[in-house]
Every structure is written in structure tokens, then in C-alpha cells.
Structure 1
């Protein structure tokens, strides 16, 4: 075999996505040889983008970083080497979902970091001169600061109004603990309700019960869609509360650096308000920098700035859909781009385009009670797509809270036994 044939073989081998059965477990060896190189490249890119005159170096490092992310995402199975039964492993497939979504977000951020001509800048402390420790700290902060709190690149980010006490760290931590417990309880209650409707098995099932007539069938699927959306909200809020406790309690960060993550999404009176303000904006820059901005640039050259910017926002929802579909693939049960990407594009991108068009034609914004009804119907209606994709692959049967500490099953056992 010639040198070019060997090189071609290696490239094809590197780009081949293995089947779920061929993935390898996460242990010390694979951590050091697979996951650590990806994490190291991500950290280096985060550090470099805060330094001047590093654009060429960042551009050169980009292909290597993307290759490491791809290898980690397609070869690792986080649950494979866990000392638990196969049944329990099947109920932990969301670990792999989280890994793939994290690596996808890292990919998007790394691509965005490769091109800026001027370095990213912190706006909460003087820039020069920066000590070595400050440079390293800024790089670490950027790597984990996904929303861009206190960074200049997050201009336009809308943060929910603060609901906790900022003047006292102890009070802030107590309020955050209460929020974590409350939303953890809600998460368990919502998950129990979904599982009671026939989704406790990790094998999954369709939300559309064909043994029922149309009215009860779609009433049931709508209830499951609403419950799933609320479960996602409660789970993310509880997780964010735990991260807040680590940041403020353990790392001694300022409480102001941990603003609320949601702003009552159920109160949105327009699709624009739901996705653009009230739902979490954690990955906003990920989706806009790789999706909306490139598409806006291309369309603006063809259609003009006004419509190019309007239609370009769909790119953000395409990237959002691809991120969630990658997570679905990570579970090892196949992906479902038509449903997952379709949900985000239709419920977010197309819904917002419709509202923008209405405003330009009538001069009136979508809002008020009619806007609320429209928003809930539109988002919930398209929500059937992603709910079917998730629940049919057993996501509701996963262990989101350890069985030993789940409050709702304990309460039910006390009531009925």
C-alpha cells in the first residue's frame, strides 16, 4: 500500500462514525487519550481568543480541535464501564446525550473563536496590564461562561430580572438552595406523571397511542408534550441552581454573575418573547455565531440587509436543532433530524418570522391574551415532534434523580401502602 493510500485510509478511518456498539467506555486511559486532548484544545482556544495577535494560531489550531471533538463524541460511551447492571446503563443514556451536546457546543464556540481580529475583553476589570494569573483566569472563565456575563462579546444578551438577594452572599445561597430543592421536587413530580402514562421503561414508546380514537389520542400526546416541556424547564433550572451554588459558594464568585436563567416562559405573549427572552439564553451566542450570523451575511448580500437579517435568524434554530439531534444520536438509538431540527426551526425560526411579517404588514406587535394563546398553541403543537423523538427513545425512563432520593415515589408509597 502506497503512502497516499495509507493516508487516505487513515483519513477515512478518522471520519468514520462507529456504530453505538463499537464505542469504548470512559476510563482513565480513554480520558487521557480521547477526552483530555479535546478539553485541552478547547481551553487553549479560549485562552488564545483573549490575547492579541493570535488569529493565525487560532486558525491553525481549529482543524485539530474539531478532529479531537469529533473523535471524543463518536468513540466514547460514558456509561459503558460503569459498575452497574445493563438495565441501569440503559437508564443512563442521557449521560451520552449530555456529552454530545457539550462537544457540539464546544465545536461551535471554537469555530467562533477562530476568526475574531480583536481579542475578547472582560468589561468588569481593567485590561492592561494583565498578569499571567489574570490571563489564565480569563481563559478559564471564558471556557465556562457560556452566556458571556461580563464579556464584551455578549452585547445584546437579555437577562431575566434578578429575583434573589445580591447584597448578602449567605442569603443568596439560601435562596438558591431553596430554588434547587423546589425545582428538583417539581422535576420528580413531572417525571413521575410522564412515567405513569406508560413511559417508565428505557425502551421508550410513542406518544401517539393508535389504540385510542383521535380526540383522546391527541389529548394524551398534548399532555405529554406539555409535561415534557415543563420537565426540561425544571431540570435545567435545578441544574443551574446547583452550578450557581458551586460558583458562588465554592468558587466565591459574585452573586451578580449568576443571574436567573429563565423568565417564566409560560407567560410569553409572543414566540419572539418565548424564544428570545423568556426561555434560557445559555447557548444564544453558540447558535448566533455559527448559525444566524453567517446566514445573515449571505442573505444580506442577496436580499438586502433588512430581510437578510430577518431570515438569517433561522440559522440559529438550525444549529439549535442540530445540537439537540446530536445529543439524541449520542444516546445510541439513532437520531431524528426531521423531528428535532424541524421542531426548533418551525417553533422558533418560522414562528418568529411570521410575527415579524405581521408587525411589518400591520404595524402592531403580537402580544396580549391572543398572543399568549397563539404562542402556546404554536410551540406546543410543534413540540409534539421533539417529544416523540425523545420519548420514543426512552428518555423519560432515564434516571434523572437517583431512585434512593426521589421524593414523589416515597410519598406515593406512604399514601397507598
Structure 2
């Protein structure tokens, strides 16, 4: 293989490794690992390449797998999928270009596969086109680090990895046959070339179609999750208004009877019936309407207060001690939907975590601090010490299929959209879960 070809394929693999490192970075200095991997790839292409064609695909995949595994926070399955994606992308493009070149210029001959000069020329063209194709599809299908959503989805990753495994076997067979100098066993060279081209085109299309529809399905699940949150919130809001209206009517009745109670209390005192007077006072203090109007008032914001009132009601029913400090977040550019999404998921996770504990251990502390430049939302709650931490990310411990981990992902998405920071720091020894959302403040 020529030096120029080696440079081109090195750039291709370096770009892929850098991309995956950006998608799911690992702490520490790991760039030297990428350098070692690139040297290993160059050696593989020099000493294996056409001589042992059946070994080229597996060896390149293994090297990329190890590099991705050591330089990113991906797990084994995620690293395997990422490595095979890079190799399959280039292999399919090479097969397509080989077939096109053979048909157009060599009348269906296999020289495009076996002759060194033609092979190097195809290599020089293959890797830039494969890289441009990936960059184009990345922009259209999974911009930014959106591929991480696909790779971190268990169901989608399982389907993608199985698909890539069988595609890798198919492409290894094609490469082994195509680089064989003795192809007299084939009935028609041209038919084989056509089938190779169409098969490779079909395989690379299937890979990106799977990614596309998996991301679409993920967006659907997220939309359904948010719609369900909004539905629950509006039902809660309606219940809150209905309860307030009901209590107001009771207040009017209480006010109507208030003067009669005062007159009775005055008569009891005048007759030195102090015990009866004290009982009447206690009964008035414990009246339902007095308890309602004396309940804890969290904030003047009706929507935020209704969310906190519902949380307080649920915590009271579950014997969870609830503490709240501060006021609702202000000057954060949070829309109504984003505010509901953020607080619903934060408080719901804290509430669910407490249900797994003994009643005497349950508590939730929410602290909101509005400052000139930042608004901080701190949530502290007890938990059972079990954390689903995988591939550099905290996930929900629930196992309800597609909605697994959607809540924390929604919190992270809202936070990042507003230029904020989400930090999660569980204390495994004290069994306390700390979550903090920092959002930039705007205006006054």
C-alpha cells in the first residue's frame, strides 16, 4: 500500500476516533492511546491488507474497539458498535467504488480488486468519500452528539450491534473473494461485481436507516413522556383550583358561623366554663378551613406553588419529610413547559427513591437560590444506596422499556439548552443523593 493511501486511511480513522471521544469523553489524557491505535492500524494495513484479506476486517475492528473502549466512556457493546460502524462505512464504499471502476473502465474485470496501482487509487478515493458521507449523514440524521442517544439506548444498540455483526461477516466474505487472484470458479465476473455493489449499497443504507428510525422512535418516546407530564400537571392544576374553590365555599360557611362561635365562647368565659371554652377554641383551630388556609405557602407563583403543594400532599401520604427553602426559579428563561418538565422529573425521582426506604429514613430537601448571575436548584434526598451508573451516565433504576432513563435525560436536555450545568453526586456511605441544576440568570 502506498504512503499516500496510508495517510488517507489514517486521517479517516483518526477522525472517527476523535468523534467518538467527543460524543462520550473519558476523563484523563487519552490522546496517546489514539496515536498508538493509528500506528497499529498502519502496521495492519501494511502487513495484512491484501495478503490476508479475511483477517483485515476483524483486526481493524479489534484495534478500533480497544481504542474507543479506552478513550471514551462507552461500554463493551457501545464500543463494538462504534468500531464496526467505522469499518463497515469504509468497506461498503470501497466495494461500491471497486464495482463502479471495474464496470466503467475494466469491462467487468477484477483488476480493480487485485492490481496494486488500481487498488491504491481506489483506496485514495474511498476513505475521503466514506468520511464525507459520514459527515453529511451525521449532519442530517444525528447532528452534534446525537449519536450518543442511539448508542446509549439499550434496545437500539442491541439491534444495531447484531446487524453490524452479520454485516461484518458478509463484508469479510466479499473482501476475501474479491481479493482472490483465482476467480475462475465464478460463472460471471460481471454478475458478481453487480451483486457486490448492490449488496454493499444495501448494507450501508440499512445501517443508517436503523439509526435514523431509532432516533425518531426515541424522540417519539420523549414527546409522549413530556405530554404525559403536562397532562398530569394540568390535572393536578385543575384539582388544585377545584380544591381551592371548594375550600373557599367552606370558608364562607365558617365565616357565617364565626360570630355565633364567638358569642358562645364569650358566654362560656362569663360563666367560668373555662374547660368548655378551651375545647371550643381547640375545635375552631382544628377546623378544616383553618388548617387549609394555614397550610405551608411555598411561593406566589400559582403554577410552581401547585406543583409543590401536590408534592407536599404525596410526601405527607407516604410519610416523607419535605423541606423547602427559597422561592421559585426566576430570570432563568425557563418556559412553562420546561419548568414543569424540570421540576416534575427532579421531584418524582426523589419521591420514588424514598419509597424504597423505611418511613423514618425518608426525606426530601429542595433549595432554590436566585442570585444575580446564576439560579441554583439543589435537591437532596435519601436513597437505598443502589445506583444505576453505566457508561459515564446515571440512569433510572426503573426498567419500564422505552421510557428507561427518559426523566434524567429531560432534565439534562433542559439544563443544557439554557446553558446551565447539571451535577449529580451521590454519597454512597451516607446514602444521600445530591442533584444540582445551575441556570444562568437574565435581567433583573
What is the TM-score with the length of structure 1 in the denominator? Answer: 0.21
Greater fraction strand = 2
Structure number with bigger Rg: 2
